[in-house]
Amino acid sequence: MDHFLYRDGALFAEDVPISEIAAAVGTPFYVYSTATLLRHFQLFDDALEGTDHLVCYAMKAASNQAILKTLAQAGAGMDVVSGGEYLRAKAAGVPGDKIVFSGVGKTADEIRTALTGGIRQFNVESEPEMEVINAVALELGVVAPITVRVNPDVDAKTHAKIATGKSENKFGIPIARASEVYAHAATLSGLEVIGIDVHIGSQLTELEPFELAYTKVAELTEQLRAEGHKIRRLDLGGGLGIPYTRANDAPPLPVEYGALIKKTLGHLGCEIEIEPGRLIAGNAGLMVSKVIYVKSGEDRDFLILDGAMNDLIRPAMYEAHHDIVAVQEPEAGVEQQPYDIVGPVCETGDTFAKQRNMPPLVAGDLVAFRSAGAYGAVMASEYNTRPLIPEVLVHGDQFAVIRERPSFDEIINRDTIPTWL
Ligand SMILES: *Cc1c(COP(=O)(O)O)cnc(C)c1O
C-alpha cells in the first residue's frame, strides 16, 4: 500500500497534487511520501514485536538525509555500506550506536571514521578485513564490535545482479569455515565478536530462501556457542521484495517474514537486527516525468520523456519493470494504446518499457513511475550532462524540496582545466 492515489481525476502524493509539485520544481523529479516510509518501517518493527530487535534501514536504497531523519525519528537504525553513507547518517542525526557498517571492501580510513564517530557493529566480510579492523581499533585504543557475515550458499531466486548468498558471490565467508574464522577472531584483542550476519540478496519474493539461510544461522549459533563464543546478536540482512506491478502475486508481507524469523531463530534468545531497504523506500517514491514528444515510428509509437536511464537506471540495468501511470487520471472507458516509453539519452538501452499500454498521451502530459523510491535517485548519474533530478518529500499537505536540481554552471564548473591547456 502507498499514498499515491487518484483524487478527482488527478494523482496525489498524500494530500498534494503531483501536478502542483511539477509546476513548482519542474520535471523530472522524485517524490517520496512520509506516510508510506513510516508505514513500511512500522510494518517491520511490528513484525518483530516481542523480540529484542532493531530495524536498521539499508540507506543505500534512498539516502537523502530527510528520509533518514524521518525514519530515525521513528526509531530506525541505519545499515551503511561506505564511509560516505556513515557520515551522511551521522549528519542526519543518527547516533553511532544505531549504525551498522556492512560492505565488502571497507578501507582503513572508513573503519577509522566509524570507530572514531561511534558504531554499533561492523559486519565483517573477510579475514583480511577482520585484520584491518583489529589493527585500526588497536591503533585507536578501542575495541570494535563485530559480527562475521557468513555466506550460507543459498539461492535467493532473484535477479543474478542482486543475489549475494551463493558460494560464487563475493560476499561473506563460507559458512563451513565459520568455526575457524570465529576462533581466529577471538584471538584478536581489538575485536569483540558479538554475533553473526547474513544477507542473501535483494528483491526476494519467496520466504523459502530466507528460511534455508536462517536455519543455517540457527545451527551455526549453537555450534559457535558450544565452541565458547558469545553469540548475542543476529543480523539477518534485508532483501524482502516488493510488488513492482499490481498484475502479479504480491511477495510475502513483513509480518510473515517476522513470523519466520521468530520460528527459525526465536529460541536462541538473541537480539535480532534486520536491514530492509527496498521494502521501506521502494513504493514510497515516484519518479515524475513529462512527455516531450510523441513520435510515430514505422510500426510503433514512442513516448519520449524528459526522464531517462541516467535518472532511473533499473530498467536498463536489471530489466526491471515499473508501472507507469498518467498523472491525469484517464477517463473511464478510454481505450489504451501501446507505446515504447523512452528517454532522450543516446542509447537504445534508454528504454523504460516496450509496447506498454497507456491512455493516449500528448506532449506536455505528466507520467509517474511507481515503485521508484528505492535504488532510483541514489543510482542516478549525470550521463549526457543531465543534472541529477530533484528530490521532494511530502508530508500530509506539505511538500519540500530535499535536494535541489543543480544548475548547469554547478555541473560544468566542477571540471578543472590543467595549466597546459
Ligand atoms: C543492499 C543491502 C540491504 C538491503 O537490501 P534490500 O533488498 O533493499 O532490502 C541490506 N543489507 C545489506 C548488507 C545490503 O547490501
Q: Which residues contact 188 (CB under 8 A, 6 or more apart)?
A: 130, 131, 134
1 pLDDT band, cuts 50/70/90, is low
By alpha-carbon position, which residue is closest to atom 12 of ligand 1? 237
Q: How confident is the model at residue 249 (pLDDT cuts 50, 70, 90)?
A: confident
User: Is 346 among the residues known to form the active site?
Assistant: yes
pLDDT at 242: 95
* 334 CA → ligand 1 middle, Å: 41
Residue 124: CB within 6 Å of ligand 1? no
Q: Taking 70 as the threshold, does the pLDDT of residue 394 lie above it?
A: yes
Our answer on whether the CB atom of 237 is closer than 6 Å to any ligand 1 atom is yes
Where does the pLDDT of residue 166 fall: very low under 50, low under 70, confident under 90, or very high at 90 and above?
A: confident
Q: Is the CB of 60 under 6 A from ligand 1?
A: yes
pLDDT at 129 over 70: yes
147 lines ligand 1 (CB under 6 A): no
What fold characterizes domain 4-31+282-412? Answer: Lyase, Ornithine Decarboxylase; Chain A, domain 1 (2.40.37)
Most confident residue range from 151-160, 247-256, 376-385: 376-385
Q: pLDDT tens-digit profile of 200-216? A: 999 999 999 999 999 99
Range(s) for CATH 2.40.37.10 in the chain?
A: 4-31+282-412
Delimiting residues of CATH 3.20.20.10 domain(s) in the chain = 34-281
**What is the percentage of the chain residues whose pLDDT exceeds 70?**
99
* Residue from 226, 247, 346, 417 carrying the catalytic annotation: 346
Please tell me the distance between residue 110's alpha carbon and the centre of ligand 1 in angstroms.
19
165 ligand 1 Cβ < 6 A: no
C-alpha cell at position 390: 530533484
Q: What is the mean pLDDT of the chain?
A: 96
In testing the pocket of ligand 1, which one of 71, 102, 126 has its CB within 8 Å of the most ligand atoms?
Answer: 102
Q: Which residue's CA is minimally distant from atom 10 of ligand 1?
A: 238
The mean per-residue pLDDT over the stretch 144-161 comes to 93
> Distance between CA 341 and CA 354 in Å, rounded?
6
Ligand 1 centroid from CA 276, angstroms: 6
pLDDT score recorded for residue 248: 63
309-355 pLDDT per residue, tens: 999 999 999 999 999 999 999 999 999 999 999 999 999 999 999 99
Q: Which atom of ligand 1 is nearest to the CA of 164?
A: 15
Q: How confident is the model at residue 162, as a pLDDT?
A: 87
- Cα gap 90→71, rounded to integer Å: 13
Res. 410: pLDDT tops 90: yes
Mean pLDDT check: name the lowest of 109-113, 155-159, 229-233, 367-371.
155-159
> 34-281: which CATH architecture?
Alpha-Beta Barrel (3.20)
Whose CA is closest to atom 3 on ligand 1?
A: 238
d(CA 340, CA 302): 5
- pTM of the predicted model as reported, rounded to 2 decimal places: 0.97
What pLDDT, on a 0 to 100 scale, did the predictor assign at position 293? 98
Query: Can you give the length of the chain in residues?
Result: 421
**Ligand 1 atom at minimum distance from 123 CA:** 13
> Which atom from ligand 1 is nearest to the alpha carbon of 202?
7
pLDDT, residue 409, reads 97
Determine the pLDDT at residue 247. 65
Ligand 1 centroid to 202 CA: how many Å?
6
